[in-house]
Amino acid sequence: MKRAPWPVLVVLLVAWLACTPRIALAQTCNAIASSLNFGQVSPIAGTTASTSSTITINCTGMGVLPVRACVNIGTGSGGSSYLPRVALNGTSQLQYNLYTTSGGSTVWGSRGSTTYAPIAVDVVQNGLTGAGSATLTVYGRVPASQTSLVAGTYTSTFAGALQAELDYAAYLLVAPACASLTSPSSTFSFAVSASVINDCTISSTNINFGTAGVLNSTLTATGTLSVACTNNDAYSIALSAGAGSGATVADRVMTRSGGSDKIHYQLYQNASHSLPWGDGTNGTTALTGTGTGSSQSVTVYARVLPQTTPQAGTYIDTVIATITY
């Protein structure tokens, strides 16, 4: 009786498998990416802007083997750095980045970088169609408080080799590393954009004239407005007439708590008390300025001229500061 050489056959089969981790099939893969838009971004709000988009991979002619697909995203047209990436509006640079998770812990990279790697996904055949697909989410973040930004539309585009590239290969046992995949490949394109807006914040400190007896001499005091507006953003600040009965921006009054007695006073834009601060009516003007992206301190000068002294008490008024930009 003769025996078939089974041990030799097994050894040869294992050797063939081990030496051929990839199978060159007729599969073709491509990627379609949606653009990533951060929407409106305030450079002074102190909050991070976040958004996301998707990349869909479609493969045909797959056969029964899975396809390892590696999605490479480069630095974009805005700059040459992965951390941070940059979108441009003229020479103004908006820093942002693209991540593999919503937590922003891993920067999405490319095989062109030694630090930030592309993302791999396996595509499997859907039924017996010879086709399959997979979808990846791209997470974007804009760091808060980029105070040098000017208002406008910021963009960066991704297209072509290493910038927006899909590398892929079918395999038998062990999926190939993305660093080793360069062909076959296809390219895709997408854009990142953000609209940096003119924005302002304003806060104030109170004005206190202190304690006075007879109002036979001038009293002065100051308060402070803290203003932060987008860089190069023109703004104006108007002060209301106040809450006193019959008050105007040209003649403000403090009213005694629990009564109707009044003390006349005025608010000014300058230390010499020559430029009344109002809302543009009755001969007064609003204060104008230009934002720097950082907080600016604006002094409000207040004065009480000598006048008939009313009944003793605490006199108060509430003035509304309105910033227009």
pLDDT digits (tens, 9 = 90+) for 17-66: 333 344 445 799 999 999 999 999 999 999 999 999 999 999 999 989 99
DSSP per-residue letters across 165-220? EEEEEEESSSPPPGGG--SSEEE-EEEEEEEE---EEEEE--------SS--S-EE
Question: Length of the chain, please?
Answer: 325
Alpha helices in the chain (DSSP H): 6-19
Q: What percent of the chain has pLDDT over 70?
A: 92
Give the Å distances, CA to CA, from 321 to 213, 228, 236, 287, 303: 30, 14, 10, 11, 18
Q: Do domains 22-196 and 200-324 have the same CATH topology?
A: yes
- Do residues 66 and 120 lie in contact, with contact meaning Cβ atoms separated by under 8 Å? no
Mean pLDDT of 122-128: 93
Q: Give domain limits for the chain.
A: 22-196, 200-324
Q: What percent of the chain has pLDDT over 90?
A: 89
CATH number assigned to the domain with residue range 200-324, chosen from the 4 options 2.60.40.1090, 3.40.800.10, 1.10.510.10, 3.10.180.10: 2.60.40.1090
Q: pLDDT band for 211, please (50, 70, 90 cuts).
A: very high
Give the best-scoring range by mean pLDDT among 4-13, 18-27, 149-158. 149-158
Q: How many CB atoms lie within 10 A of CB 311?
A: 9
pLDDT tens track for 219-265 = 999 999 999 999 999 999 999 999 999 999 999 999 999 999 999 99
- For residues 15 and 8, give the distance between their C-alpha atoms in angstroms, rounded to a whole number: 11
Nearest to 237 by CA among 206, 264, 269: 269
pLDDT given for residue 8 in this prediction: 34
| Mean pLDDT for all residues in the chain | 92
Q: How many CB atoms lie within 10 A of CB 167?
A: 23
The answer to whether domain 22-196 has CATH 3.40.50 is no
pLDDT given for residue 106 in this prediction: 98
Res. 16: pLDDT tops 90: no
Res. 12: pLDDT tops 70: no
Class of residue 200 by CB neighbours under 10 A (exposed 0-12, middle 13-18, buried 19+): middle
pLDDT given for residue 283 in this prediction: 81
Q: Which residues pair with 79 in a beta bridge?
A: none
- Residue scoring higher pLDDT (128 or 144): 144
Mean pLDDT of 196-211: 98
pLDDT tens track for 269-297 = 999 999 999 998 888 899 999 999 999 99
Q: What is the pTM of this model?
A: 0.85
> What is the phi-psi region of residue 78: left when phi exceeds 0, alpha when psi lies from -120 to 50, beta otherwise?
alpha
- Do residues 262 and 253 lie in contact, with contact meaning Cβ atoms separated by under 8 Å? yes
Mean pLDDT of 156-185: 95
- For residues 179 and 181, give the distance between their C-alpha atoms in angstroms, rounded to a whole number: 6
Mean pLDDT of 144-168: 97
- For residues 128 and 175, give the distance between their C-alpha atoms in angstroms, rounded to a whole number: 22
